[in-house]
Structure 1
């Protein structure tokens, strides 16, 4: 059960597929948003069932998602979406586990945006395992422990005095603390008929001293060479290595995917061919361009003026000899801005295909589809991105220098971490990549800072460090390690 954007969900889907292939006696199901429908056929090939809920991956006030005639506030909309989302989750999990007694080996794997899975696992008496491609993207408020100790003194004592291997205060403060909010309490009590507070009796509200659960397995999908595992983390945390997706999952073009699979079946080492429709893209990549991709940043409301963003890139191109390949991630306002600017400069733009547009005398190549990053990034000089865990990992594996511009949650962690390990210059502020308005001064300032960041990323020191880390990561297999950890947790090895 994985919710959130592509970067939150796809690594968990990769684990589901790998586990299904390794343990064929299991019926494996992925529960996620209908927005990730493209996974259905890919998972089916790996014998994983895809079950969709209708909630969106991101609910942003900037998206203007209206309900009930458009008169309700965003807060009311969020409440209603959450209510319907939880009902759908319960219905799906009931269909999976509700027809008979749960088996000893049954379990639910959740990511940090699918915390309802913890209570559903409790409802249906199955084990819950946490899997995340990044460190916890939030931390407990400074007052959390003080309030917890005051309001739940017996439970605080229960958790702090836990025997070795049992759920304890380290688990709570590391990632479980959101489970103890009223946001979950009423749903647990009214809908699931559980105690409002985990680890307490539903009738007496006293901690379940007689039944102490094991500390839950928490698996992280990143490399120990990049992120250290500190001693204060819970005992059941496992750092597996990065969870990379199957390469063929990452082609939006079916013909390109078929060519890749055909080349793979012939054991070709250099699988560089794209289909004829994308021959211009393939030729452009031979120039070793700079990649720019912001993934879901636009759909989350951060790209307020796409034309200003394109003008920043144009200004950089006017003062350097760089070339850019821009992945639009299907964000319609950005693609519209590209066509508007193209129409205004009709002498130097070409609409090459349904998903390819060339601007500024062929120096900016805009692509609305997707290609495997492990195929693409080694062909690029620099990777400019938002700090998503998947893009960060792919750039590390490719050994390509990075320029990172974070916007939210774990992106700030990854941007600082990439600078700390030496594969990128200091992180950009968002207005230094995407100004809020198309103001000449703001665009010029952003272009100067972006140009400097690219120049620093191309320094011999950064390039050497990126190549060094790539060599280390190449020895790891994070997905296989995660499957191994699940099997050990379930006693299958």
Structure 2
């Protein structure tokens, strides 16, 4: 059986499907991942097939960051993403149609690619299932991502999330019409579209220990557990990183992944993070990421005299691409943007967190980390200062309850097998 995994977005949206793909391949299935060109090397390094999807997620993230000002936690951030994503989804649908036409027995679709991929699979008569990384189905249990961390109460949450759910599917109607026209099929009525959407099986790639399944979810929406990224044999820590870790106590990791800052340049953000690490009195590993962070461990300058070493000494190291699976267990705490992938990696490592969210699902996961007892607080990017960040880093590192709770969650997650339900579901669909 040939399984086509379709996903779009940043590294955190793509990497989980490398582990899921490897698990499906080990069960004897041919597996191909359709995603953006920037991830082709990652996919192939895991021994999986690759099919190209158009666009670069970095461009969309950067455009969102440019258009956001002030506080992006809440409806403003969601509205900005929705407007930016409409054209993005239309282009994505073209690439998905080409990818599925190359052959697939089952389509597994995620993220922003989910509904376009479903439309393509339905039109071509290929069975499909959703595989989502965020809890987007309507519920009263928690605030929808459009509200960030702010809850409207159980009734309000349910009403707002249902309205957003309907709007999301209404927005996809144009994609469904285009796909069916491209395939020479008649358009579907609104009732038919709703029926197909209601009957579509959807799996969620996070643990019930992190987000309990809401009782008011439709029966076909189920939790699978985390799909852990595959660790490729080609990755090794470079000597600088290994030597840095061996030279002192566990450092605090700071990285904002694929998230550019809507208010701070990379230089300003780097200065804030550097100052926060110093105020907290901890060593740090800073990952450049898409935010452009960078702190040199030694910085000599020529002012006409002897070269003088800058205040940045050997207590901070800047790194590029690095395995979170390898690095996070070796840290004292993780400061990150609250994306689904980095949040999962931190929980898997069993280390405290300091979330600094910007928009979309990040405020949700950040609030979840705080409610789980893993994070001492949430610091939105719009409110970021060195003093505030230093205070939360200090609490994360020095309050034993944070690490105790994080370790307990690590043990619970290690006992789960999130890929098993997907494997069973995919084989059932094929039959």
- Normalising TM by the smaller chain, what interval? 0.7 to 0.9
Give me the whole-angstrom Cα distance separating, in 2, the residues matched to 1:368 and 1:280.
16
Preserved CA contact (<8 Å) 1:425 1:457: yes
Compute the TM-score of the two structures, normalised by the length of structure 1: 0.69
Distance 1:408 1:427, change over 3 A: same
**Mapped pair 1:180 → 2:170:** yes
Q: How big is the shift at 1:242?
A: 1.3
Q: Counterpart of 1:42?
A: 45
SS in structure 2 at match of 1:291 = strand
| Selected match of 1:95 from 93, 102, 107 | 102
How many equivalent pairs are there?
A: 385
Larger Rg: 1
Distance 1:295 1:489, change over 3 A: same
Q: Counterpart of 2:406?
A: 466
Q: How big is the shift at 1:365?
A: 0.7
After superposition, the C-alpha distances for 1:40-76 in whole angstroms (9 at most, x for unaligned) are: 4223x2xx31011231124243689xxxxxxxxx999
After superposition, the C-alpha distances for 1:225-281 in whole angstroms (9 at most, x for unaligned) are: 1111011111122212211112227xxxx4x54xxxxxxxxxxxxxxxx45465434
| Selected match of 1:377 from 328, 350, 354 | 328
Preserved CA contact (<8 Å) 1:185 1:195: no
Q: Counterpart of 1:289?
A: 251
Q: How big is the shift at 1:419?
A: 0.6
Give me the whole-angstrom Cα distance separating, in 2, the residues matched to 1:487 and 1:341.
55
SS in structure 2 at match of 1:487 = helix
Q: How big is the shift at 1:214?
A: 8.0
SS in structure 1 at match of 2:9 = coil
Q: How big is the shift at 1:212?
A: 7.3
The within-5 A match list for 1:209-220 is 215-220=199-204
**Mapped pair 1:236 → 2:238:** no
| Selected match of 1:306 from 266, 284, 291 | 266
Q: How big is the shift at 1:481?
A: 3.6
After superposition, the C-alpha distances for 1:3-38 in whole angstroms (9 at most, x for unaligned) are: 11111112123212211221x2x4322110111122
SS in structure 2 at match of 1:384 = strand
The within-5 A match list for 1:70-85 is 82-85=89-92
SS in structure 2 at match of 1:113 = helix
Preserved CA contact (<8 Å) 1:389 1:411: yes
Give me the whole-angstrom Cα distance separating, in 2, the residues matched to 1:174 and 1:479.
29
The within-5 A match list for 1:9-48 is 9-22=14-27, 24=28, 26-43=29-46, 45=47, 48=48
Q: Counterpart of 1:334?
A: 293
Q: How big is the shift at 1:386?
A: 0.6
Give me the whole-angstrom Cα distance separating, in 2, the residues matched to 1:233 and 1:95.
34
After superposition, the C-alpha distances for 1:328-361 in whole angstroms (9 at most, x for unaligned) are: 1265x434xx469946697446xxxxxxxxx711
Tell which deviates more after alignment, 132-141 or 3-12: 132-141
Q: Counterpart of 1:321?
A: 281
Q: How big is the shift at 1:190?
A: 3.6
Distance 1:344 1:75, change over 3 A: farther
Q: How big is the shift at 1:183?
A: 3.7
Q: Counterpart of 1:484?
A: 424
Q: What stretches of structure 1 of length at least 5 have no aligned partner? A: 65-73, 98-105, 143-170, 258-273, 350-358, 434-445
Give me the whole-angstrom Cα distance separating, in 2, the residues matched to 1:75 and 1:488.
34
Distance 1:313 1:224, change over 3 A: same
Give me the whole-angstrom Cα distance separating, in 1, the residues matched to 2:145 and 2:333.
35
Preserved CA contact (<8 Å) 2:256 2:337: yes
Preserved CA contact (<8 Å) 2:347 2:409: yes
Give me the whole-angstrom Cα distance separating, in 2, the residues matched to 1:398 and 1:215.
36
SS in structure 1 at match of 2:232 = helix
Preserved CA contact (<8 Å) 1:422 1:462: yes
Give me the whole-angstrom Cα distance separating, in 1, the residues matched to 2:349 and 2:276.
25
Q: Counterpart of 2:74?
A: none
Q: What stretches of structure 2 of length at least 5 have no aligned partner? A: 1-5, 67-80, 139-143, 148-160
Preserved CA contact (<8 Å) 2:106 2:429: no
Preserved CA contact (<8 Å) 1:383 1:403: yes
Preserved CA contact (<8 Å) 1:330 1:369: no
After superposition, the C-alpha distances for 1:277-306 in whole angstroms (9 at most, x for unaligned) are: 65434435x5200011100012xx536322
Q: How big is the shift at 1:88?
A: 2.7
Give me the whole-angstrom Cα distance separating, in 2, the residues matched to 1:390 and 1:80.
25
SS in structure 2 at match of 1:129 = strand
Distance 1:79 1:212, change over 3 A: closer
Give me the whole-angstrom Cα distance separating, in 2, the residues matched to 1:107 and 1:421.
36
Q: How big is the shift at 1:125?
A: 0.5
Q: How big is the shift at 1:135?
A: 1.5
SS in structure 1 at match of 2:15 = helix
Q: Counterpart of 2:71?
A: none
After superposition, the C-alpha distances for 1:456-492 in whole angstroms (9 at most, x for unaligned) are: 223122222112222211211212343233334445x
Give me the whole-angstrom Cα distance separating, in 2, the residues matched to 1:174 and 1:77.
16
Preserved CA contact (<8 Å) 1:39 1:50: no
Q: Counterpart of 1:245?
A: 229
Give me the whole-angstrom Cα distance separating, in 2, the residues matched to 1:212 and 1:397.
35
The within-5 A match list for 1:416-455 is 416-433=367-384, 446-455=385-394
